[in-house]
């Protein structure tokens, strides 16, 4: 109810600039649809006309896509938990369970990775990063990791890349249901359920999840030199994602979605200390989208509203009557987006888009509410001919505090050996605007900050090394280089810290994967190795001194092997991370974690019953993703689910 009050009490009505901006977008796109267009029919697949702007211009960018079936085994858990186990991405968690979890890509900062829900950015407006413990693994049809996402497509904050969370609900006559429970020896129980029903006129999908955890485990306190049991890290989480799509006519649809979630987390004591901290988070996200297609063109008009609330409290002792810190942060975000795609000829398409935003943050450390308005113009062209795809995009952002300059992107994809080898190249200019904390936090905020600017270049190849009737071996490898100027850093300035355009960063490296699939009768085998190699060089302004990129390992690998025979299956997952700096002179040591899972898939009625037992951290490795925040040693989990 906390999120509904700003709407019911005039939150939208009072933000007149935001309403006016969205109205302008809707009116302008209505005018576009009224234009007279030739009726010549082109052989254009419907998926191409309807594809979102990022999907349509993605052939030149390395992208990993996780489907609903990939995410399903982690239903009830967070997306952060899924990515830690199933990718070579650099995730940083402040402990286990419901702890804050951030992601960085290709040696970037966590605020340089943009996270989008159905095309709208959901990064925190105050700190710029995204908490992956607040993103469920279930509830999305696919999750796309877009490495080095072009600034022309995504706008601010993509030096590392972007994560796209898409629902992509389809029309069709069907009904499905799934439910699952997960028990962990950390005294955790997690549950989830999903329902889909639909026909050719309307479809609905609802996803639900919840968790309750004491989050208890034993670890070694290397400061106090003793074994210690974590008993103050309890957390709970609950939420739902709803989506409905209507067919308005044979060529148009209207869809809408809702994401509501609340989480309470008792921040556990760190190694060598005792603390009394807690954090409560809640979010309400709404979006709606209208799509219209014709023989030669497609139109998408979307709008969204996000309302986020966070309260952090700290006590001096367990018996203290009041809080020594009681910080409350709330923000409201309004977005509108329109994109028109026109096919001049088979294989040639042009895009034009207009986006607008209004953001308001209310933070006690700012002194008063802070607003930000933005308007963005986009244009793009794509040429498909034989085995070549050539595309270029331009973006210009006008913000209440600055202008981005024109952001160009150019890319090429070539099927050098059709069905066997695809080569790709992308060049892109990027920027990141300062966050509200960077600008307004008192003390230390700096209203005179410049946006971070820079560029990136990458090339890569996707190759099929072996393809037989019962086996396939594929690989994907990319090499990248990026330059960031005027990187914003918080540094000590006397008695407090302040934000400055302090660093220039040069990041380069390789990331890739190799996958093997084999099927013989009832025997199926899958093996996937993912590798990330990165080096980030930092130069401080104005001294020119070399500094370290914190929590940025040079090597991360994940190797997954899964074997199934009939109803039985077993899998082994190995994750390795090299050492990384947590301050200018100190390293966290390298670590490796092995997870072992075994289980059965049993036909049950019209559906399937799945039971899995997992031993997490099989070797009992002691490690930290963030300094002084311990991770669990060996623990087990039991997962059961039923789907029909």
pLDDT in tens, 249-260: 999 999 999 999
Place of tokens 């008009």: 301
0.85 cut: is pTM over it? yes
Asked whether residue 34 carries a pLDDT value surpassing 90, the answer given is no
Q: Report the distance separating Cα 149 and Cα 411, nearest Å.
A: 12
For residue 472, count CB atoms less than 10 angstroms from its CB and return exposed for 0-12, middle for 13-18, buried for 19 or more. middle
Single out the residue of 427, 423, 449, 426 nearest to residue 436, CA to CA. 449
| Residue 628: Cβ within 10 Å count | 16
Single out the residue of 281, 209, 200 nearest to residue 238, CA to CA. 209
Q: Report the distance separating Cα 570 and Cα 75, nearest Å.
A: 19
Instruction: Provide the domain count of the chain.
Output: 1
Share of the chain above pLDDT 70, in %: 93
pLDDT at 1: 44
Single out the residue of 76, 110, 74 nearest to residue 90, CA to CA. 110
pLDDT at 55: 92
- 364 or 635: whose pLDDT is higher? 635
Pair of tokens at residue 582 = 């947590």
Query: Beta 120-121 vs 142-147: how paired, if at all?
Result: unpaired
Query: pLDDT for 368-394, tens place per residue?
Result: 999 999 999 999 999 999 999 999 999
Single out the residue of 290, 222, 161, 312 nearest to residue 629, CA to CA. 222
Single out the residue of 132, 121, 122 nearest to residue 97, CA to CA. 132
The mean per-residue pLDDT over the stretch 432-443 comes to 96
Q: Any idea what the Cα angle at residue 51 is, between residues 50 and 53, rounded to 5°?
A: 120
Q: Report the distance separating Cα 144 and Cα 131, nearest Å.
A: 17
pLDDT at 48: 65
Radius of gyration of the chain (CA): 25
For residue 574, count CB atoms less than 10 angstroms from its CB and return exposed for 0-12, middle for 13-18, buried for 19 or more. middle
The mean per-residue pLDDT over the stretch 323-346 comes to 95
Asked whether residue 20 carries a pLDDT value surpassing 60, the answer given is no
Asked whether residue 7 carries a pLDDT value surpassing 70, the answer given is no
Question: What residues have CB less than 8 Å from 366, skipping those under 6 apart?
Answer: 436, 440, 441, 442, 445
Helix (H) or strand (E) holding 86, with range, is helix 79-86
pLDDT at 41: 45
Check if the beta carbon of residue 182 is closer than 8 Å to that of residue 77.
Answer: yes
Q: Give the chain's mean pLDDT.
A: 91
pLDDT at 109: 93
The mean per-residue pLDDT over the stretch 335-342 comes to 97
Q: Report the distance separating Cα 393 and Cα 428, nearest Å.
A: 9
pLDDT at 172: 92
Share of the chain above pLDDT 90, in %: 85
Q: Which domain holds residue 442?
A: 5-643
Helix (H) or strand (E) holding 46, with range, is helix 46-50
The mean per-residue pLDDT over the stretch 131-145 comes to 94
Query: pLDDT for 457-476, tens place per residue?
Result: 999 999 999 999 999 999 99
The Cα-based distances of 40 to 37, 51, 208, 292 in angstroms read: 9, 21, 46, 17
Pair of tokens at residue 341 = 């795609």
Q: Any idea what the Cα angle at residue 470 is, between residues 469 and 475, rounded to 5°?
A: 95
pLDDT at 50: 80
Q: What CATH number does residue 419 fall under? A: 2.40.170.20
| DSSP-based three-state secondary structure for 57 | coil
pLDDT at 592: 97
pLDDT at 493: 84
């Amino acid at each position: 109810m906390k999120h509904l009050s700003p709407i019911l009490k005039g939150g939208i009505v009072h933000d007149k600039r935001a309403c006016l901006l969205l109205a302008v977008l809707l009116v302008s796109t209505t005018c576009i649809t009224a234009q007279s267009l030739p009726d010549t029919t082109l052989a254009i697949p419907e998926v191409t006309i309807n594809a979102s702007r990022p999907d349509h211009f993605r052939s030149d960018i390395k992208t990993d896509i996780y489907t609903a079936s990939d995410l399903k085994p982690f239903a009830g858990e967070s997306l952060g938990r899924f990515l830690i186990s199933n990718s070579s991405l650099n995730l940083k968690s402040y402990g286990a369970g419901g702890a804050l979890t951030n992601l960085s890509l290709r040696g970037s900062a966590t605020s340089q990775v943009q996270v989008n829900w159905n095309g709208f950015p959901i990064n925190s407006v105050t700190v710029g990063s995204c908490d992956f413990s607040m993103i469920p693994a279930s509830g999305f049809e696919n999750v796309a990791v877009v490495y080095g996402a072009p600034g022309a497509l995504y706008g601010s904050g993509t030096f590392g890349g972007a994560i796209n969370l898409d629902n992509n609900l389809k029309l069709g006559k069907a009904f499905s249901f799934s439910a699952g429970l997960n028990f962990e020896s950390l005294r955790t129980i997690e549950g989830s359920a999903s329902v889909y029903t639909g026909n050719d006129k309307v479809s609905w999908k609802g996803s639900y999840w919840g968790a309750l955890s004491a989050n208890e485990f034993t670890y070694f306190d290397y400061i106090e030199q003793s074994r210690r049991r974590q008993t103050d890290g309890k957390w709970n989480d609950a939420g739902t994602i709803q989506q409905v799509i209507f067919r308005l006519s044979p060529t148009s649809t209207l869809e809408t979605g809702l994401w509501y979630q609340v989480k309470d987390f008792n921040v556990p004591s760190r190694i060598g200390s005792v603390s009394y901290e807690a954090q409560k988070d809640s979010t309400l996200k709404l979006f709606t989208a209208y799509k219209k297609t014709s023989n030669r063109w497609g139109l998408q008009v979307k709008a969204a509203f996000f309302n986020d609330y966070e309260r952090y409290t700290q006590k001096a002792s367990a018996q203290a009557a009041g809080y020594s810190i009681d910080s409350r942060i709330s923000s409201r975000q309004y977005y509108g987006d329109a994109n028109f795609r026109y096919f001049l000829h088979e294989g040639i398409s042009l895009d034009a888009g207009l986006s607008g935003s209004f953001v308001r943050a209310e933070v006690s450390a700012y002194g008063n509410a802070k607003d930000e308005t933005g308007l963005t113009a986009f244009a793009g062209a794509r040429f498909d001919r034989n085995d070549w795809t050539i595309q270029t995009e331009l973006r210009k952002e006008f913000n209440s505090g600055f202008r981005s300059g024109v952001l160009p992107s150019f890319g090429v994809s070539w099927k050098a050996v059709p069905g066997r080898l695809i080569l790709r190249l992308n060049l892109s200019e990027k920027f990141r605007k300062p966050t509200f904390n960077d600008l307004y936090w008192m003390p230390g905020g700096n209203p005179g900050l410049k946006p971070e600017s820079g560029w990136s270049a990458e090339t890569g190849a996707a190759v099929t090394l072996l393809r037989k009737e019962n086996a396939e071996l594929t690989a994907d490898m990319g090499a990248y280089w990026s330059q960031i100027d005027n990187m914003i850093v918080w540094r000590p300035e006397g008695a407090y810290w302040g934000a400055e355009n302090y660093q220039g960063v040069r990041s380069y490296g390789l990331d890739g994967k190799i996958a093997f699939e084999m099927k013989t009768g009832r025997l199926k085998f899958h093996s996937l190795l993912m590798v990330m190699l990165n080096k980030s060089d930092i130069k401080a302004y104005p001294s020119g001194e070399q500094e370290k990129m914190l929590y940025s390992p040079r090597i991360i690998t994940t190797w997954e092997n899964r074997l199934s025979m009939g109803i039985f299956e077993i899998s082994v997952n190995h994750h390795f991370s090299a050492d990384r700096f947590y301050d200018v002179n100190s390293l966290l040591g390298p670590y490796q974690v092995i997870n072992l899972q075994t289980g059965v898939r049993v036909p049950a009625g019209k559906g399937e019953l799945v039971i899995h037992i997992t031993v997490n951290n099989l070797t009992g490795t002691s490690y930290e993703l963030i300094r002084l925040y311990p991770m669990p040693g060996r623990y087990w989990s039991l997962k059961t689910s039923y789907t029909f």
